[in-house]
Structure 1
Amino acid sequence: MTATTREIEDRLHAAPPGTIEAELVAIALEATGAEHGALFVWDKDAGGLALVHHVVGGVTVTLPRVVKPELRDRSDSAKAGIAMHVFNEGVPYLCPDTSRDPRYTRYLIDVGSIAAAPLQYQKRPIGVLTISAREPRGIDANAMRALTAIAEVAAPLLRRVQVDKLSRAATGRPLMIKGLSPAWHEVERKIELAAPTNAPILIRGESGTGKDLVARAIHWNSRRAEKPYIVVNCAAIPETLLESILFGHMKGAFTGASFQKVGEFQKANGGTLFLDEVGELPVMLQAKVLRAVEQGEVQPLGSNDPPDRVDVRLICATNRDLEAMAKLGTFRDDLYYRLSVMTLDLPPLRSYKDNLETLANVFLEQSATSHGKPAPRLGTAVLARLAAYDFPGNVRELKNTIEHAVILCTGDELRVDDLPRPLHSASKLRARTAPPTQITLDEARETWLEPLEKQYLTELLAKHGGNVKTAAKAAGINTVTLYRLLKRRGLHLGRTIGPKP
């Protein structure tokens, strides 16, 4: 990795929320010396490339634009422009003279030369980065190479921003904040490696640690991102209905089945099915789930037809110990081994409370925006109370706590009185569970050594019938030292060796 690459990564990582697109264009202009730059990102809802940041001669242009493929055959993108061509083909493109290029389309001003580089994540296009100059041949091959290198470095970070926006829109929570803890870094590393595969993934963690967010992140970063994402909470559905929900049923399959129902496995065909609280799945259904995972076959209730074929990527989550349940026979061991091809263990909030202030500020800004209020500050007293609380509900409870406080806050700083009731006694909780005062090494050694030395001396003298001389010789010390040790440990010699009365 070159120094330039590290600098690019550092600048993009350091960019404040919502500014990474502008920072990326600025980096491209600085590195190439170009006059104009633009960043296009694929917008699924708009069905085209959205112009998310555009700089013309040092001026940021905020006019929205979406570049759409004009032809049904997207491989022939001449009429759609250079950006769409690069997006479709996935290769850099240098246009030294726009007057001779049929793909060139004018926007705002005429330019004489253009370079465009694809932004790809896991071999899939997510956008295009372009630079241009007024004069023909104002952009050369060196600028093209620099632009391509910048696009390669920026693509994963840009994708992270996209997924974070999707997460906020779908769940109201940010995906993950980079650098929260080494454990979260390991989770992110595994997501990047496992998401492109079709392997089942088991997400383990306490309630509120973000298992749903991680499942969505896996789907959004997979090759199935444009396909359905279906969620089933196994704990929220009665056992009698769960089989029908998962696999569907035929009309008349049971009393009340007045219509044919498509199951969630069929709805997720081609995409991802997320089974939350999979530990609550009844044993009687586990064999059918295993068949669906291993063979891609599902049989609706009441159907006499051959099983339906489905292509589903399964992600499961649980806060229970499935391995222990498998040993007890309450969860099929073959299903457990199939679901846990890849496991992700999510850390509880208490394991990275050093970054509590960062998380709290993220939720504070988010809650203030959601409720149309100016964002107050986190006072030191509130931070102390948050730090003293254990948050058994983890990140979900922290988010709800901050939202509660923002709603009640009437000033420019959160107060302890704005916090929910459980946190009002947080200082008492901390006092009850406060760690003991740190002792010295000598004190620790004495605490550990005293009972062992007392037991040794008692057994030594008993073995030698209370004869101090022979006992001292056997212990490799003189009699004076042995008497001193006996006194120090409160032992006396009599008919039996024991504590002094």
Structure 2
Amino acid sequence: MDTKSSTRPASGFARPRAWANLGLVTSEPKPGREPSPRDSVALAAAPFLTRGVELDALLVAVVDTIVDRLAAERGTLYLVDGRTRTLYSVVAHLPELARIRLDFGQGVAGTVAAEGKVVSVSNTATDPRFDATFDQRTGFTTRSMLTMPIRDSGGEVIGVLQLLNAARGQFNAEDEQRAMVLAGQAGQVLEATSLYAELRARGPVELDGDDAARPGPSYTFNQIVGESPAMQAVYAVVRKAAGTDATVLINGESGTGKELIARAVHVNSPRRDQPFVKVDCTTLPEALIENELFGHERGAFTGADRSTQGKVEAASGGTLFIDEFGELPLPLQAKLLRVLQDHEFERVGGTETIRADIRVICATHRDLPAMIDRGDFREDLYYRARVVPIVLPPLRERGRADLLRLVEHFVDRYAKRHERSIRRVSEAALARLLAHDFPGNIRELENCIESAVVLCDGGVIDADDLPLVVRPRAHAKRSPGGPQLGDPELTLAELERAHIEAVLEACQGNQSEAARRLGIGRNTLARKLGP
């Protein structure tokens, strides 16, 4: 194997059993046996491709499976940076070495990337493409190699897989055939991950300057795009929290991806194979939230003809995600505090104490300390929920590079979903996206890009295709006789109502956005507006 030093962080792996780490099980290979569907890389990885697992772990698992199936001693997976035509190792059973960077055409792996053909080397000592520098640096002896391209569904090379030292001494024609099948499955896995948009030679977003001078494809958790310093700080906390049962409180504006982060904590934790159960406190009337959480006993109320489990019991062994945590009614806050402190509760109408084996993750866009000051939220519950705080940055604070990668990711996703061929996002469209402050954050960007993918002509997204609306920041219009701040004849309720209506008007009737700007929940806004 041939190498060029890189500044990327170390990524050596000493053959960990990564499928086991992810909760995956594949059958152990038997000598001379053809791989069965149970051995399929794509089949084994499929349950995790839509989840926020750490991509390093997923990719290690892919390589481990192929190395085992082909009875090789070691393996290395390179990903292609399509724009710079370079290869970057992302998995290497080489604990002695950091990331490896190769140019197309450099060494055996670079040759495979450039030519797109399988290369089998039965004796590295006699092959001029082999560079012994790596063996000299590590003390490892490479005797035989099988190197194959990894392609996407369109046939483009997006990676290279290199296997070292066949157990039988040399890789034969049967090994090559099996390896190509498994490499094809690995291509399906890569194409289904959130880093795929960065592996193609011609993406829809043309990067230049600092954006193009990145040290290889950037990724951390699958389905979570962005490697800005603000997001790296979030990922660091997620990794630490995932290995524990500590309660997590995620705070961030609407649309910043709080549920994605909650799922990332869960699927990278020991509870990954158990339920992830969500309760959204804004979608239920206050009277029903307690029943939703704790369930009820038979006869607890009219129509309760049988006992029913709540979400707390449904999450047994797994994770309970309480979205819009700040909307919990005060009486229910005390009952949830008991769950967090003692892991106990009773169903509505019941007297039996039930033990709750759950991990709790809460999320809110609300300013909970301000709510505590107003008497709307319990201080003890706030501190009990905030064992591990995670603050998600709004999109406008994540920087140009994160926004462009998100644009690339969403164009790729919705072009596939709607079967549209999108060749390019124009400079004018990118300029408009970069100038917008995205009050709706990633959700607003995603919906904007999906609309543009569907409506654009000629495979090019232009500025006019972007349904971005610049909304006034709640400078309400007042009639001369309207309510005025400081009017001694005006009640507080009247002034509050006038302000709510002005903000709602500025948001063009969008109650979710109005609630966000007012710092209250949608249910609270609905109550204040009245019938």
| Common topology (TM > 0.5) | yes
Counterpart for residue 331 of structure 1? 377
Separation in 1, partners of 2:21, 2:37: 11
Q: Match of 1:274, SS? A: strand
Counterpart for residue 26 of structure 2? 48
User: Residue 300 of structure 1: CA displacement?
Assistant: 0.4
Q: Over aligned residue pairs, what C-alpha RMSD do you find?
A: 4.3
Alignment of 1:131-210 (within 5 A): 133-134=165-166, 136=168, 175-179=223-227, 181-210=228-257
Counterpart for residue 371 of structure 1? 418
Partner deviation per Cα, 1:103-136 (whole Å, 9 max, x = no partner): x99x6x8x6x75699999xxxxxxxx99564565
Q: Does 1:362 align with 2:409?
A: yes
Distance change >3 Å, CA 174–CA 408, structure 1 → 2: farther
Partner deviation per Cα, 1:155-204 (whole Å, 9 max, x = no partner): xxxx9999969xxxxxxx9633342x211110011111111111101000
Distance change >3 Å, CA 348–CA 262, structure 1 → 2: same
Instruction: State the AA in 1 paired with 2:433.
Output: L
Q: Match of 1:66, SS? A: helix
Residue in structure 1 matching 2:38, options 54, 63, 66: 66
Counterpart for residue 429 of structure 2? 382
Partner deviation per Cα, 1:472-501 (whole Å, 9 max, x = no partner): xxxxxxxxxxxxxxxxxxxxxxxxxxxxxx
Q: Is the 8 A contact 2:194 2:225 kept in 1?
A: no
User: Residue 391 of structure 1: CA displacement?
Assistant: 0.8
Separation in 1, partners of 2:311, 2:5: 45
Counterpart for residue 215 of structure 1? 262
Q: Match of 1:317, SS? A: strand
Distance change >3 Å, CA 7–CA 330, structure 1 → 2: same
Separation in 2, partners of 1:352, 1:50: 44
User: Residue 358 of structure 1: CA displacement?
Assistant: 2.0
Tell me the number of residue pairs that the alignment of Structure 1 and Structure 2 aligns. 319
Counterpart for residue 359 of structure 2? 313
Partner deviation per Cα, 1:253-287 (whole Å, 9 max, x = no partner): 01121222101000111110000000000001011
Distance change >3 Å, CA 223–CA 233, structure 1 → 2: same
Separation in 1, partners of 2:333, 2:37: 50
Separation in 2, partners of 1:5, 1:258: 70
Q: Match of 1:249, SS? A: coil
Separation in 2, partners of 1:317, 1:243: 18
Counterpart for residue 345 of structure 1? 391
Separation in 1, partners of 2:38, 2:427: 46
Counterpart for residue 86 of structure 1? none
Q: Select the structure of larger CA radius of gyration.
A: 1
Alignment of 1:98-137 (within 5 A): 114=73, 133-134=165-166, 136=168
| Structure 2 unmatched ranges of 5 or more | 41-60, 77-90, 94-160, 172-188, 196-220, 474-531
Instruction: State the AA in 1 paired with 2:425.
Output: L
Q: Is the 8 A contact 1:247 1:299 kept in 2?
A: yes
Separation in 2, partners of 1:378, 1:399: 14
Instruction: State the AA in 2 paired with 1:220.
Output: V
Counterpart for residue 168 of structure 1? none
Q: Match of 2:398, SS? A: helix
Partner deviation per Cα, 1:60-90 (whole Å, 9 max, x = no partner): xx9774349xxxxxxxxxxxxxxxxxxxxx9
Separation in 2, partners of 1:9, 1:50: 33
Counterpart for residue 298 of structure 1? 345
Q: Is the 8 A contact 2:275 2:318 kept in 1?
A: yes
Q: Match of 2:274, SS? A: coil
| Structure 1 unmatched ranges of 5 or more | 13-23, 29-36, 52-61, 69-89, 94-103, 121-128, 140-158, 166-172, 430-501
Separation in 1, partners of 2:348, 2:92: 46
Q: Match of 1:402, SS? A: helix
Q: With structure 1 as the length reference, what TM-score do the two structures score?
A: 0.55
Separation in 2, partners of 1:364, 1:327: 44
Q: Match of 1:48, SS? A: coil
Distance change >3 Å, CA 371–CA 225, structure 1 → 2: same
Counterpart for residue 234 of structure 1? 281
Instruction: State the AA in 2 paired with 1:239.
Output: E
Separation in 1, partners of 2:325, 2:456: 39
Instruction: State the AA in 1 paired with 2:251.
Output: R
Large movers: runs of 4+ above 3 Å = 4-12, 37-47, 62-65, 113-120, 129-139, 159-165
Separation in 2, partners of 1:417, 1:259: 56
Instruction: State the AA in 1 paired with 2:408.
Output: N
Separation in 2, partners of 1:328, 1:366: 44
Q: Is the 8 A contact 2:73 2:166 kept in 1?
A: no
Distance change >3 Å, CA 293–CA 163, structure 1 → 2: farther
Separation in 2, partners of 1:417, 1:410: 11
Q: Is the 8 A contact 1:40 1:49 kept in 2?
A: no
Distance change >3 Å, CA 119–CA 289, structure 1 → 2: farther
User: Residue 48 of structure 1: CA displacement?
Assistant: 2.5
Counterpart for residue 294 of structure 2? 247
Counterpart for residue 206 of structure 2? none
Alignment of 1:2-41 (within 5 A): 7=6, 41=19
Instruction: State the AA in 2 paired with 1:272.
Output: T
User: Residue 205 of structure 1: CA displacement?
Assistant: 0.5
Q: Sequence identity of aligned pairs in percent? A: 39
Separation in 1, partners of 2:367, 2:273: 33
Q: Is the 8 A contact 1:293 1:312 kept in 2?
A: no
Q: Is the 8 A contact 1:353 1:387 kept in 2?
A: no
Q: Which has the higher contact order (CA 8 A, sep 6+)?
A: 2
Q: Is the 8 A contact 1:229 1:268 kept in 2?
A: yes
Counterpart for residue 204 of structure 2? none
Distance change >3 Å, CA 304–CA 271, structure 1 → 2: same
Distance change >3 Å, CA 162–CA 10, structure 1 → 2: farther
Separation in 2, partners of 1:313, 1:38: 27
Q: Is the 8 A contact 2:74 2:165 kept in 1?
A: no
Partner deviation per Cα, 1:308-363 (whole Å, 9 max, x = no partner): 11111110000111112122221111110100011111111111241222211111
Q: With structure 2 as the length reference, what TM-score do the two structures score?
A: 0.52
User: Residue 137 of structure 1: CA displacement?
Assistant: 6.9
User: Residue 50 of structure 1: CA displacement?
Assistant: 10
Counterpart for residue 48 of structure 2? none
Q: Is the 8 A contact 2:194 2:224 kept in 1?
A: yes
Distance change >3 Å, CA 64–CA 393, structure 1 → 2: farther
Q: Is the 8 A contact 1:369 1:375 kept in 2?
A: no
Separation in 1, partners of 2:317, 2:92: 25
Distance change >3 Å, CA 315–CA 284, structure 1 → 2: same
Q: Is the 8 A contact 1:42 1:49 kept in 2?
A: no
